[in-house]
Structure 1
Amino acid sequence: MIYEIYHLTYEYREGVRALDDINLKISEEPLLILGHNGAGKTTLLKILAFLLKPKEGKLIFKGKDVNKISKVELLNLRREVSYIPQRVTVFNGSLYEDIEYGLRIRGIKDSSERIKGALKEVGLEGLESRRAKELSGGQTRKLAIARALAIDPDVFLFDEPTSELDSYELLERVIFKKVKEGKKIIIATTDLSFAKRLKFRAILLAKGKVIKYLDTFDSL
């Protein structure tokens, strides 16, 4: 198992639970996290990315109890995961510099080919020198995906990845390529048309609880 979750609870403030007693085992196969806005999808992704700490419960990643490891070990685990948020923040510099920063803080050197390859894969080749803040919404989404591709982690966590994209084809191509490479893909989405095209195993969240497990989305 990649992740094992036992009785996990998260509160944004006292008495307001975003996740409530989640029990879940996540294997190597890709997974969809479905649910309406406010269901707890983003919170769960951030916990899986080690960006939020649960109030209660146990999170195990590749056999390691995350509550029992050192800060250095936690930092190393974060480097195995890339979280692609719904709301993307870009730097003031160029696309090249934006991606290079993420590689540099992970100690990845000789990054030029990685960066150019990632930009080409999302259709932004030749724009390395463009200021990131000048991009359209769809281009910014592609830049966020390129960041993750350049890092090439074991686990990709996508939060509403179709937001502001004008077609599914590029995103599907990236996702299926990474699945073929043996990467773990977890996607939180409200886009049921996109989910139906992927036909991945799925869970359905509502009010912070897992209310249904699906072998594929088509079985809903």
Structure 2
Amino acid sequence: MPPKLESRNLSREADGERIVDGVSLSVEEGDVLGVVGPSGAGKSSFLRLLNRLDEPTGGTVFLDGADYRTIPPRELRRRVGYVPQRPALRGGTVRENVTVGPRLRGESVDEADVARVLGRVGLRGYEDRTTDDLSGGEAQRVAIARTILNDPEALLLDEPTASLDAASEAKVESLLEELVGESNTTAVLVTHDRSQAGRLADRVAVFADGRVETVGPTKGILS
């Protein structure tokens, strides 16, 4: 079986600078790959290439062995969900934010599915809350609910707890562990926090200057 996600010689140039430089990495189904390294190492840029939020200028990515350029972008982004560092919620209610993906695709949304997803992220009964009334941790959990309502096969997580306090960080980490463990979801986690990578990731890739310096099992790499 091919890996769930695999980048081959993936590169991106912007303003004459190569910010991701020939990255080849694979993530098996159900595994979590942690991506660590200093600021400016290309971690988040690499993540955005994995579901074509940005376009590579070299190389490509395979999803279940299929070149992702053969997959319509809207379908790709449903199958490979992205959770940004900051939730970027729209004004309005939690329900409106969580259901934005299906509504943009012209699909009906089952209220039972909304309640189920909000229950999974610890926000049952929040459907009619406005986004202005949410704490930082609650907003991030709404962003995760918005992504998992699409039932993705893989999650791309860009510093998902970087702006949270310690209590909210622990809740979000626990939620991510539960989601990956229960549904065997594949994930790529970009984090500046090596201890977080140690808690959540099966393998770790260390980035520097847009390239992978080393990759391997979490315990061996981080020790």
Same fold (TM over 0.5): yes
User: Counterpart amino acid of 2:35?
Assistant: I
Contact 2:215 / 2:221 at 8 angstroms: preserved in 1? no
Tell me how many residue pairs correspond in the alignment.
216
Which is further off, 56-65 or 206-215?
Answer: 56-65
Q: Post-superposition shift, 1:218?
A: 5.0
- Aligned pairs for 1:11-30 within 5 A: 11-14=13-16, 16-28=17-29, 29-30=31-32
Question: How far apart, in 2, do the equivalents of 1:26 and 1:18 lie?
Answer: 21
Among 46, 49, 52, the residue aligned to 1:47:
49
**TM value normalised by structure 1:** 0.88
Q: Which runs of 5+ in 1 are unaligned?
A: none
Question: How far apart, in 1, do the equivalents of 2:8 and 2:214 lie?
Answer: 16
User: Counterpart amino acid of 2:73?
Assistant: L
- Aligned pairs for 1:1-220 within 5 A: 1-14=3-16, 16-28=17-29, 29-67=31-69, 69=70, 73-163=72-162, 164-167=164-167, 168-180=169-181, 181-217=183-219, 219-220=221-222
> 2:26 is paired with a residue of what secondary structure?
strand
Which is further off, 31-40 or 103-112?
Answer: 103-112
Is the alpha carbon distance of 1:154 and 1:128 closer, same or farther for their aligned partners in structure 2, counting shifts above 3 Å? same
Is the alpha carbon distance of 1:160 and 1:104 closer, same or farther for their aligned partners in structure 2, counting shifts above 3 Å? same
**TM value normalised by structure 2:** 0.87
> 1:17 is paired with a residue of what secondary structure?
strand
Is the alpha carbon distance of 1:217 and 1:108 closer, same or farther for their aligned partners in structure 2, counting shifts above 3 Å? farther
Q: What is the alpha-carbon root mean square deviation over aligned residues?
A: 2.0
Q: Which runs of 5+ in 2 are unaligned?
A: none
Contact 2:204 / 2:221 at 8 angstroms: preserved in 1? no
Post-superposition CA distance 1:141-192 (Å, at most 9, x none) = 1111111222221111111111215334432332233333221111110112
Question: How far apart, in 2, do the equivalents of 1:111 and 1:34 lie?
Answer: 38
